Amino acid sequence: MSKKVLIVGGVAGGASAAARLRRLDEEMEIIIFERGEHISYANCGLPYYVSGVIVERNALLVQTPAGMKERFDIDVRIHSEVTRIFPEQKEIEVKEANGHIYRESYDELILSPGAAPIRPPIPGINDIESFVVRNVSDIDQIKGYIDEQQPQTAVVVGGGFIGLEMAENLQARGVNTTIVEMGDQVMAPLDFEMAAILHEHIFTKGVNLILEDGVKAFDKKENKTILTLQSGEQIEADLTILAIGVKPEIKLAKEAGLTIGDLGGIKVNERLQTSDPNIYAVGDAIEVKHLITGQASLIPLAGPANKQGRIVADVIAGRNSQYKGTQGTSIAKIFDLAAASTGANEKTLKKLGIPYEVSYTHSASNAMYYPGATRLSLKLIFEKSAGRILGAQIVGSQGVDKRIDDIAGVIRRQGTIYDLQELELAYAPPFSSAKDPVNMAGYVAENIINGDVRTVHWYDVQKMNPKEVCIVDVRTIEERRGKFILGSLHIPIDELRNHLAELPKDKDIVVYCEIGLRGYLAYRILTQHGFTRVKSLSGGWVTYFPAVFS
């Protein structure tokens, strides 16, 4: 006898589970309940519809209820909100748009309710007209408002993925935009110095970026919103977007007595079962095991949600399938740059007390002699003992996606920096260099592990007193002009051997260049000439400058 499976939520994990179930079992009864109007839509593409980059609204609709019925014979009930779960009776309560309430029985239940935008209890927040970005209806409202009202100014509250993407697309529509972020950086998965590259870029695009200053209160003034910040600064806006973050939708699960984790997400096992073995949960609503730290985490990403949907379908169909964890591989377009990360960041490892080492490389996206090469800034985090890769972050304008994916694949298999060196990657001058940036990151990390170079980081140098430490700039005079570490001594790398007598052997020496390569060469020269207290600034000036001065 075939099972009857009910699915709460028809986007990402829910839709993926439904389609997979049908492929595995033609006789199974499958019903999707969606409280909204749409299922299986491209929520990651919503901001790009505002600017017109995505022209056709229908392009956002990956699948429709009619399409699911026709192709997969799945019963999709939109405008149907599941209001209660009765685990003992294996039933749910459903409320339709017309107010009609009924019950539906199940053999297996899949929860895929997603996460809801956060609306903090800021004074005045309920008195103003503000928008969030969660579904197609939300983006319809925003686009409709812009088309009809022609706002001149906008404030986006929050500097995460959605906030940055909305700011870019509002700016593309000619709306003068301000981003207000309470933290000291945008894009929390990145560490500060990598986000600092984005800060500089965002300013060059005419967006007003305000960091370390949250919203204290909202007020209305005629057709405008007045935002008063914690600092006392006031901003006037025609349009306000709330992109503060999301929180798991757990109301149904909690009221049903299912176990909720310490972070506020639904607790599941490797088979994605909740504390009730006949109820499964997937997507943004659940707590997952972080692949690197092993800790419970909330990682709201579309890729993992879809994989979880497939795994749940396998489990229900009797196949041996497990979800092994999420490593948080993500990427976002921020104007002309892309920012990507995978694995754990330095902030998390430091907080958990997990030992790590860091290297920075700033390679070219393709062969330097081929037109159009641009810089890729890559931060690699790894174990200093065995060299296992713990995380990576990349910011650049070209080739960011393929490099982060290369490293993500190595991390997934618990690979090391030596694996990065050995990767045989496609090479032709328009696409890469013979030593790909991924290979280079592995080589630099090996130098650190082997003791071929001792490094210091931007935050170490920031605290140094030039009177106590000899800081040596080995760049050219043209590179140094107008941009250098105060108090540093200038000796170009090609002249270094001729000036060894001018350098002290009784105090620490820090050498730096533009991106780190010549600093490494200077380190090797000095240490082989009897200097024992030398360190090289990892990532050079390119890492140091935005982190210290942005």
Euclidean distance between CA atoms 470 and 457, whole angstroms: 15
**How confident is the model over 337-362, as a mean pLDDT?**
97
Q: What letters, b where the CB count within 10 A reaches 16 and e where it falls short, cover 133-159?
A: bbbbebbeebbebbeeeebebbbbbbb
C-alpha 476/C-alpha 489 separation (Å) is 12
pLDDT range class, residue 344, cuts 50, 70, 90: very high
Dump pLDDT digits (tens) for 280-323.
999 999 999 999 999 999 999 999 999 999 999 999 999 999 99
Question: Which of 382, 432, 390 is closest to 408 using CA atoms?
Answer: 390
Given this model, what pLDDT does residue 188 score?
A: 95
Do residues 239 and 275 share a domain? no
Pair (25, 8) in one structural domain: yes
Please check whether residue 294 lies inside any domain of the structure.
Answer: yes
Assigned domain for 472 exists:
yes
- Which pLDDT value is given to residue 58? 86
Q: Given 24, 42, 44, 116, which residue is catalytic?
A: 44
CATH code for the domain of 29: 3.50.50.60
Is there a single domain that holds both residue 475 and residue 429?
no
Maximum distance among all Cα pairs of the chain, rounded to whole angstroms: 89
Q: Does residue 466 surpass a pLDDT of 90?
A: no
* Domain match, 239 and 281 both: no
- My answer on whether 533 and 459 are in the same domain is yes
Q: In angstroms, what CA-CA distances link 267 with 8, 274, 296?
A: 17, 6, 9
Which of 39-53, 68-82, 109-123, 400-414 is least confident? Answer: 39-53
Query: Token pair for residue 254?
Result: 């909690």
CATH assignment of the domain containing 540 = 3.40.250.10
Domain count, the chain: 4
User: Nearest 10 degrees: CA dihedral of 190, 193, 198, 199?
Assistant: 120
How far is residue 473's CA from residue 489's CA, in Å, rounded to a whole number? Answer: 6
Kindly give the pairing relationship between strand 489-490 and strand 4-8.
unpaired
With 90 as the cut, is the pLDDT of residue 60 above it? no
The pTM for the full model equals 0.95
Considering the domain architecture, whether residues 213 and 272 belong to the same structural domain is answered as no
Using left for φ > 0, alpha for ψ between -120 and 50, and beta otherwise, residue 172 falls in alpha
pLDDT at 44: 86
Compute the distance between CA of residue 108 and CA of residue 368 in angstroms, rounded to an integer. 57
**Rounded CA separation 152/28 (Å):** 53
Are 428 and 347 in the same domain?
Answer: yes
Window from 27-41, 197-211, 318-332, 529-543 with minimum mean pLDDT = 27-41
Do residue 437 and residue 420 come from a single domain?
Answer: yes
Position 116 scores a pLDDT of 92
Q: Is residue 119 part of a domain?
A: no
- Residue 128 belongs to a domain: no
Per the domain annotation, does 130 fall within a domain? no
- Same domain, yes or no: 252 and 179: no
Q: Which helix (H) or strand (E) holds 544?
A: helix 540-549
Mean pLDDT calculated for residue range 448-470: 94
Would 127 be classed as within a structural domain? no
Interacting residues of 383 by C-beta distance below 8 A, sequence separation 6+: 355, 356, 357, 390
* Residue 12 scores a pLDDT above 90: no
- pLDDT at 467 (0 to 100): 84
End position of a domain, from candidates 244, 261, 294: 244
User: Measured between alpha carbons, how far is 3 from 106 in angstroms, rounded to an integer?
Assistant: 8
Terminal Cα-to-Cα distance of the chain (whole angstroms): 64
Q: Which pLDDT score, from 0 to 100, does residue 301 have?
A: 93
* Sign of CA pseudo-dihedral 415, 420, 421, 424: positive
Q: How far is CA 367 from CA 406, 432, 445, 513, in A?
A: 19, 6, 22, 21
- pLDDT for 40: 80
Q: Which helix (H) or strand (E) holds 288?
A: strand 286-289
Q: Cβ–Cβ contacts within 10 Å for residue 311, how many?
A: 24
167 shares its domain with 231: yes
> What's residue 59's pLDDT?
86
Whether 160 shows a pLDDT value over 90: the answer reads yes
User: How many angstroms separate the CA atoms of 281 and 267, rounded?
Assistant: 8
Instruction: Work out the percent of the chain whose per-residue pLDDT is above 90.
Output: 90
Range of the domain at 395: 336-450
Phi, psi of 459 (to 5 degrees): -75, -25
pLDDT category at 81 given cuts 50, 70, 90 is: very high
- CA atoms of 123 and 121, how far apart (whole Å): 6
Q: Assign 62 a pLDDT band (cuts: 50, 70, 90).
A: confident
pLDDT at 366: 94
Q: What is the pLDDT of residue 184?
A: 96
**Mean pLDDT, range 481-508, rounded to an integer:** 95
- 326 within some domain: no
Q: How many other CB atoms sit within 10 Å of the CB of residue 515?
A: 19
Residue 63 has pLDDT above 90, yes or no: no
Residues contacting residue 369 through CB under 8 Å, at least 6 positions apart: 429
**Last residue of one domain, picked from the residues 316, 350, 374:** 316
- Pick from 319, 317, 312, 324: nearest CA to 279: 312
Q: What is the DSSP letter of 26?
A: S
pLDDT of residue 550 exceeding 80, the answer is no
Rounded Cα distance between 405 and 216, Å, is 40
Q: Identify whether the C-beta of residue 133 lies closer than 8 Å to the C-beta of residue 243.
A: yes
Burial of 550 (0-12, 13-18, 19+ CB in 10 A): buried
User: Could you tell me how many residues make up the chain?
Assistant: 550
Please give the pLDDT value at position 497.
97
Last residue of a domain, which of 450, 481, 511? 450
In a domain, 529, yes or no: yes
In tens, the pLDDT along 356-372 reads 999 999 999 999 999 99
Average pLDDT rounded to a whole number, residues 272-285: 98
> Are residues 439 and 340 part of one domain?
yes
Name the token pair of 74.
């799945």
Q: Are residues 459 and 492 in the same domain?
A: yes
Question: Can 44 be counted among the known catalytic residues?
Answer: yes
DSSP state of 10: -
What is the sign, positive or negative, of the torsion defined by CA atoms of 120, 123, 127, 130? negative
CA atoms of 167 and 160, how far apart (whole Å): 11
